[in-house]
Structures are given as C-alpha cells and as structure tokens.
Structure 1
Amino acid sequence: MAVLAAAVVCFGLAEWAGYPMLRGLAGAALGAVVAALVITARRPRVAVTREIYPDRVRRGRPAFARLRVENAGSRRQGEFTAGDLVGSGFHAVTVRALPPGAQAVYHYELPTLRRGRFQVGPLTLQRVDPLGLGRSRLTTGDTTTLWVHPHLYPVRALVGGHPRHHHEGRTTDDPLHGSLDLRDVREYVVGDEVRHLHWKATARTGQLMVRDYVDPNQPRFTALLDTRAELTTAAVFEDAVDLAGSLATASATAGHRCRLLTPGGLDVSERGGASSVRRLLDELCQLEPVAGTVPLVPAELARTGDHGGCLVVVMAGAHHADLAALAALRQHYTTTVVVVLGGGRTGVEVKVPGVRVLHATDAKDAARRWNVVVAG
C-alpha cells in the first residue's frame, strides 16, 4: 500500500510540476505493484501430509516432523515458503519449485523442552514476490499431536503387596489369582463380571450394583501428586511431575497395579505393563497446577485406600490439615512414603508417625535418595 500511495503522489507531482522523472518513477512503482499482485495471485496448489516420529517423547529428547509436499496439478509449482505451527511457535520451511506430479520431503526438529500436549500444523503456505511488495497465504494440510512426556529418572520399583508363592517356589511372572478382598460396592459398568452382581444392593437401589474386588497379594503402587498452586513454584512443580512419572513408570513396568491421583481430580488406575506406562505419562504431560483451596487427599482415596499397597506422596509443602489426612491414610497401606521437594514453602514440617519422609532439593536428588534409602 505504501508503494502504491507513493506512485500516486509521484504521478500527481509530475502532472503539477511537469517533471518527467517523477512520472517515470510513478509508472515503475505502479508496475512493481501490479507484478506483485500477478505473482502472488496464483496460490500454491499442493497436497501436504505430515508425520511425527516419535509422537511421544520425553522432555528434552529429539522429535522430528516429516513433511511431504506433492504437486498433483498439471502446471509447474513455483517456490514458496511453508510455515508450520508447532504449539505456540512457528517453523518456516522453504519448498523448492515442483514440476507436475513431483513431490518433495522435508525434515525438521520439533521443540521438546516443555512438557505438554502440542498440536503441530496446519501448514501455512506463503508466496512473496521478489521485491516483497505482495504476499498470499493459504492454510492447508492436517494437524498432528506431539506428546512431550515428563523427564524420567532411573528409580527402582517398590513392592507394596505381599510376597507371592506357590508349591514350586516364589512366583515372578503374572500374579496369581483367587484371593480377593471386597473393596467396595458400586454401580455396574459395561464390561464388569456378571457373577459379581450384588443382588441385594441392586434391589435396594433400583440400579445394577457389583462387588468391587481387589487382590490383596498383588503388588500395587499409588502415587498422590500434590498439584496445588499455592504450595509450589513452576520449577518445583515440574520436578514433582518428573518424580511421580518416574516412580509410576518403574512400578507399571514391573507389572504392578498403579494408581495416580491429584487434588485436582485426576484419578487413573492401570493394571501395569507398557500400555499402562503410556497412559500414565499421557495424563502427566497434560497436568497443570490447580488454583484455589482444595484438600491434599481426594475424598475417594481417603474413603477406600488401596489396602496393603505402597503409597507415595510427592509434594512441595503442606498445611497442618494435610498431616492429619496423611496419618489417616497410613493404616490402608503396607508402606507409605512422603517426598518433599524444594524444602517446602509453608514452613510446616512434614512429620507423620509411621511414615517415611524424604526431603530432596529436586527430582534428581529425590530419585537418588529413593534408590538408596527406600528401595535400596
């Protein structure tokens, strides 16, 4: 617009003062604007596909995008610039000229320094004339999701159930079944065992109710991650997520039943194994601090517990009410450990009878202390 305005001004001065040079400058400027419009009027007509490998990565580990651009038309496609949205950032790729039916593949590294679930794409195609006077933009292509998981530290899994034996010795494979304790009576969910229907409760409530059993001998791990924003900083919160992810991953990899809870309402239970690790880390990579005044121990955990498993509480600070809540939980678990990161911010000393408390500066220090003091 500035060049076009300058052309009009030059032409007006040329007509008023009779300067041929100004008339020539006005014509040149107008010609440049017209040429820019002609060059950028034809938008790129290409097909774009994108792949991310791997689509799930630990924070700080490399992840890449493969961008495939194909000219499916019958005319030559000139060079243009493609900008790919990556989370809140922007990554530019220069796409060279493509003959009809040709394709080109481009690779670039994705940012993985922040934990989270990020959308990659759509692609913004942009053409600019040589003088930079005009440009056209076109959004195309699909979007892909990149999961940046917490950083994981090497920690040992702590068995929180009772040793398993059979007539030939100790079992190390899949847990034996047959010894079940009644944990709760709840509403029927599709997929529940019909043989566990509780007919008396069904008749009393008018809804299908089932007995919720738990194997008292199977190793179980429960992680309670304190996500209350008032008690932590951004750096300590990331350390807490890293530590909780490391402990949950070690237990799930060992085949233990795992449960992850937060004061903000997250409550995920998994049976153990690689698929469980993936879901737990997916949940953790989206976790954010929760504002407001909420109790440390969720009501569901305070009511039932896991009866005999291992409970680990990861926190940065505590209120006096938190200590009483943790003391009440201790009776439900074989082992209870509280990990306090960053020295705490409230000045309340975390000390609960019968509960082992670890103080650590960060997640790396906590993992080292866990391996030496708790799981060693």
Structure 2
Amino acid sequence: MYSILFIIGLCHLLNDTLQSVTTAMFPILEKSMGLTFTQLGLIAFTLNMVSSVMQPVIGWYSDKHPMPFALPVGLMSSLLGILGLAFANSFFTIIISVVFIGLGSAVFHPEGSRVAYMAAGSRRGLAQSIYQVGGNSGQALAPVITALVLVPLGQFGAVWFTIVAALAVLFLVYIAKWYSNRLLTTQMMKSKKKVQEHRPVTKSIILALLIIIFLIFARSWYGSAISNFYTFYAIKKYGLTIAQSQSYIFAFLFMGAVGTFLGGPLADRFGKRNVILFSLLAAAPLALLLPFVGPHLAFIILAVIGLILMSNFSVTVVYAQELIPGKVGTMSGLTVGLAFGMGAIGSVALGSLIDSIGLRPTMIGISLLPLIGILAVFLPNDNKLEVR
C-alpha cells in the first residue's frame, strides 16, 4: 500500500528532522554557552539513549497490545521538547528538553515500523526502505538546518520546528485511523499466523542477533563520529566556516538516505546478508583513506561512504524481523533503538576521546570500525533464514 508507506515515510522524515535540530545546534551551543565536547556528547547521549532504551520496551508491549494512537501522542512529546530547546538557558534545561524529544521518538519508531510492515505485502525490503529513508532524510537535514536557520537565527530558531511537529501530528492521526481499521480487518489472519510465526529462539538465532548487534555498533559509532564531530574536524583542518563545514555532513547524511532507500530493493533482489556484508566491507577502505585527503576529495569520499554504509540500515531491521517472526515491534525497537543507543554511547565516548587525545587521532581511529563488517559472513543466508 504505497500511499500509507509514503505517508509514514514522510512522518518519519518529520520526526527525525526534530531530532536533527538537537545535533544541528551543537556548533551554536558550543559557542553561545561554552559547552565542551563532552557536554555535547552528553546531550546526544541523553537524546539517543532515552529513545533507544524505550524503543524495545515499547515494541515488545505493542506486539501484544498495538497502540495506533500512540503515534500522534509521541509526536506531541517531541513538539514540547522542541519548544523547551528553543528557550533553554542552561545545560540542564537542554537535557530535559531532549528527554521529551527522545520519548517521542521512542514511541514513533517501533509503531511506525509496524505500519510499514503491515503495508508491505511481499516487498518487505522495499517497504522498510521507504519508511527508513524518511528518517535518514530527516537526519540529513541537520546541516541544512544549521546553515539556513540556526546560524542566522541562533538557538531561538528552533521554535520554527514546532510547525514541523504539528504537521507530523496531523499526518499521524490519519495513519492511526488506518492502523486501527487494519487491525480490525486482519484479526482473523493474525490469529492464523500465530502458530506459523512461532519460532523457538535457538543458539544460532541468538548468535545471529549478536552479530547484527556488532554490525550496528560499527555503523552507529562511525556515523556518530561523522555526524556529530566531523564538522569540527573540517573547520580545524580545512579552515572552513560553520556553514561551509555543514556541506560535508549533508553530503554524508543525504547520500546515506539514498543508500537506505536502495538497500531494501537490493536486499529483495540479491539477499539481505549479501547487502549487509557488502555495505560495511566496501566502505572500509574509503573510511581508512578519509583522514588523509584534501577538502575536495574528502567531500566526495564522505558522500560515497554514506551511500554504501547506510544501505544496510533498513536491511538489518528486516533481517531481524524475519529472524524472529511475530515480533515486529520488538525487533524493530531492538535494531533501530540499538542504532540510536550505540550512537549515544559513541557520542559520549568519542567526545571524551577528542577532549583527551584530539580530533585527528580520534578520526583516524574510527576509520577502522567498518572492518567489523567481516562478521557478516557468519550470518545465515536468506534461504536458511526462511526455513530456520
């Protein structure tokens, strides 16, 4: 059902745009409030950790008790958080505001992924890509938000994004009504699938999930380093302004959104494990090269890394959902929430590392992370996944 998929994908874009406002404000807050890299990492940690911890819990609960109208309610929480962020005058107030944004995101993601799953038909990879590309596109807007809104307007410019939140709430009311009707009409089909979808959690399934977790760790820590701190690296190494440095982050995140969309259809065609393996190993040599090139080549390499690396984003979600059928919300909350959580921990760890040893050594160190992708060779291939 493409209309539903495009609307929920648009809502995902709007939701993640609200989250992007927080990280987009980092250069502004660093100057206006004198925050350290560690404090900036703690802000990202709070936002992502609240979202990541709550997502699997909400996903587990909604597998048993679906909550259609939790979608617009969650976005109302994000709206309040954006208001608080615009008027915050202390580090503590910023932390409280991002807690509200994180809670809204925690509610949205597992239920939004369930809507995409329900509307997917047999094209689960494509459906998840349409849904996830909205979120990655929203994240890609962070540097644009910084350059066009926050640099000229400052911290108060965040208040304009309450309009984005209100628009998302309206769309999600429509989605919630469709979701409710869909639950009623598929009740009999759902009861038939319960026996079919029941699968004992064996040691091989646990091992596959652990591998997926390690791969998400590699992708998330690398993505966190680039999206949160590469702007400072580009300013220092290439002598760029804040606005100019944002173009590098935009290239990485925008092409990451393109990769997210392409990953699903490619997985439907060539297999989920193959796409996961390729996305990390093909990005590894480029990541190793990035810290040692000039500004023009760095821009191109960042764009290509984003395209390749993020092609596994939606694929890991579908892989986990098919690994343990019948747990759509739980697996979505685990994989997407884990991505946020790993990024949160990475923000704090990398911020502290930068304060301790400097930007350049940290950027060189994180270039090794995509090599962890070699673990994907131990994942069950798609044929085994279907008959496990």
Question: TM class by shorter-chain length?
Answer: under 0.3
TM-score between the two structures when normalised by the length of structure 1: 0.23
Higher strand share: 1
TM-score between the two structures when normalised by the length of structure 2: 0.22
Higher helix share: 2
Query: Greater Rg, structure 1 or structure 2?
Result: 1
